[in-house]
Chains A and B, each alone.
Chain A
Amino acid sequence: MDSNKFTSAGAAHQNTTRQSNVDLKLKLNKFKMLPVTVEFSGGAELLCGNVKKHDVDLPGQQNKWQIRNLLVWIKDNLIQERPELFLLGDTVRPGILVLINDADWELMGELDYELQEKDRIVFISTLHGG
């Protein structure tokens, strides 16, 4: 991993120091915020103050952002009431449809999908009368 390179770089001569600077740059780059759009509809918006569209910058992190991390982040940052109506265990409550860039998340790897910049994630609740 990167951190190993850093420890070795700390002890070393010029060449490796230059190398470590490149690594550091890469690392900072990797930790950059990830802008995505999160939308709620079909009643799910009621859980986050009745706001449907949220343009958010996900904080940079060492590992790639997956939908599974996004769900927890949404629960902690966007959901204002009754989080159990959104998240159940580590996934969305059954009956909430998820679309990634307008495609069913079941085609995209569900929780394992790795978020890309400017992705649009839509949550549609079906848990209401018709």
Chain B
Amino acid sequence: MPRKCGNCTNNAVLKRPKTGDALCKDCFYWAFEEEIHQTIVDAGLFSPGDTVAIGASGGKDSTVLAHTMKVLNDRHDYGLKLILLSVDEGITGYRDDSLETVKRNQQQYDLPLTIVSYEELYGWTMDAIVEQIGLKNNCTFCGVFRRQALDRGAMKLGATKIVTGHNADDIAETVIMNVLRGDIARLRRCTAITTGADGYLPRCKPFKYAYEKEIVMYAYFKQLDYFSTECIYSPNAYRGYARTYIKDLEKIRPSAIIDIIHSGESLSVKKDVKMPQQTVCSVCKFVSSNEVCKACVLLEGLNKGRPRLGIGKTHKERRKWEEDLAEEASRLSLHNTAVSGSSDCGQGCARDEVNGCGSVFVGADEDDVNGDGRRNGCCGGTGSGGCGTTQRENRMPAQKVITARTTMRNLLDF
């Protein structure tokens, strides 16, 4: 026979990983929801009148999050306006299906839903990106783009906060991953319950201390409608290893997950460790820790046929690119002097013979970006600076990317 609930006389249905308590369904619902409430109150996540965008993927975490936020907003009079916000990465057979779940959630929870897509924001779907980059670093693109897409979508909706369904297991994974990568800046940030408060929109994780097991059990017992297929592009992701490791640890000692988060929270970084400064991207004007944000670098790489530009060491890839360009230029220099004339930037750039260099003629550039943003194969230099063959700095050849992003801004009315 099953054990009795530690709280009442009903049969217990679940052993809580955090405490080892056995609880019945109703006591579990109550404990789970009230713990989230406690997390929200303790961290002062929301103020009355906030418009909160719930990052909704259709998966278990965000589905339970939307449900819980609605329950708590009603029960405790948070005075929040809740909206569902989804990002369509353009992954056929995965996101299109999960978005159907989000649309059902919209009906079930009676919350407004907005979907922003990579295609409208960046001109690229993940399907197209994977075609370029393969299955090795695709998650870098997806992660960087999604982060920004959520921000942009939420701002468009006039939201004052974003909440995401990251749970305790996710955060413990992230801590381990950042340790393994030696990413001290992220290691320090990743356990914060709210991030980005000094940038555009604060992003909160009300499920920071909620175990995945409890979230899944909650969804199961409440029969919440969620989508549970693994992303078709993620089997090679680094996170998968960290995830397996965390789950193995949890099996041996369930408190390991909370303990790892605690370790992450308690870490102090030596004063002399150089931390990146938060600044504004010189291209898209979004918050960034570099002069040019990662999304812009990745996008530049995609648009110019060098998709590896934002992967690993950007300056190395840029140098390789310049060498390739120089080689090609010298190979074509004879031909080039014969046909170029005024349409050449004068630096021997001849990557795309049909469009010319494209760095001087902004108009031609714009046409091309609007027509087919991926075909720009030129150096992207700004004319005065040449084709970038002599620039070893991590500098953005601004012209083309700005035009690409202008299209996006118009769409989102920034």
Residues of chain A at the chain B interface (Cβ within 8 Å)? 41-43, 46, 93-95, 97, 99, 101-104, 106-108, 122, 124-130
Contacts and interface: CB of A to CB of B under 8 A. Distances in A.
B14 A42 contact: no
Contacts of B167: 130
B229 A107 contact: no
B61 A94 contact: no
Contacts of B84: none
Given A97-B213, A97-B217, A42 B13 contact: no
Residue from B2, B167, B228 with most neighbouring chain A CB atoms (10 Å): B228
Contacts of B248: 94
A93 B2 CA distance: 23
Interface residues of B, number: 35
Nearest to A45: B228
Interface of B: 2-3, 11-15, 22, 57, 59-62, 165-167, 170, 212-213, 215-217, 220-221, 228-231, 234, 243-244, 247-248, 250-251
A40 to B, nearest CB: 11
B15 A106 contact: yes
Given A42-B228, A43-B228, A103 B216 contact: no
Q: Which 3 A-B residue pairings sit nearest by Cβ, starting from the closest?
A: A130-B61, A94-B247, A95-B247
B247 A130 contact: no
A107 B15 contact: yes
B171 to A, nearest CB: 12
Contacts of A129: 57, 59, 230-231, 234
Contacts of A41: 220, 228
Given A43-B228, A128-B229, A129-B59, A103 B2 contact: yes
Contacts of B243: 95, 127
Contacts of A127: 230, 243, 247
Q: Tell which of B14, B62, B250 has the most Cβ of chain A within 10 Å.
A: B14
Contacts of A126: 60, 212-213, 216
Given A107-B15, A129-B57, A124 B220 contact: yes
Contacts of B15: 104, 106-107
A46 B250 CA distance: 24
A102 B408 CA distance: 49
Contacts of A43: 228-230
Nearest to B15: A106
Contacts of B215: 130
A130 B60 contact: yes
A130 B170 contact: yes
A42 B60 contact: yes
Given A94-B247, A130-B167, 14 more contacts: A41-B220, A42-B228, A46-B229, A95-B243, A95-B247, A101-B2, A103-B12, A106-B15, A125-B228, A126-B60, A127-B230, A127-B243, A128-B230, A129-B57
A41 B227 CA distance: 10
Given A103-B14, A124-B216, A94 B2 contact: no
Contacts of B213: 97, 126
Nearest to A99: B220
A53 to B, nearest CB: 14
A107 B12 contact: yes
A108 B11 CA distance: 12
Greatest chain B CB density within 10 A among A101, A127, A129 is at: A129
B2 to A, nearest CB: 5
Given A46-B229, A95-B247, A130 B13 contact: no
Contacts of B230: 43, 127-129
Given A42-B60, A42-B216, A104-B13, A130 B2 contact: no
A42 B59 CA distance: 10
Residue of A42, A46, A93, A107 contacting most chain B CB atoms (<10 Å) = A107
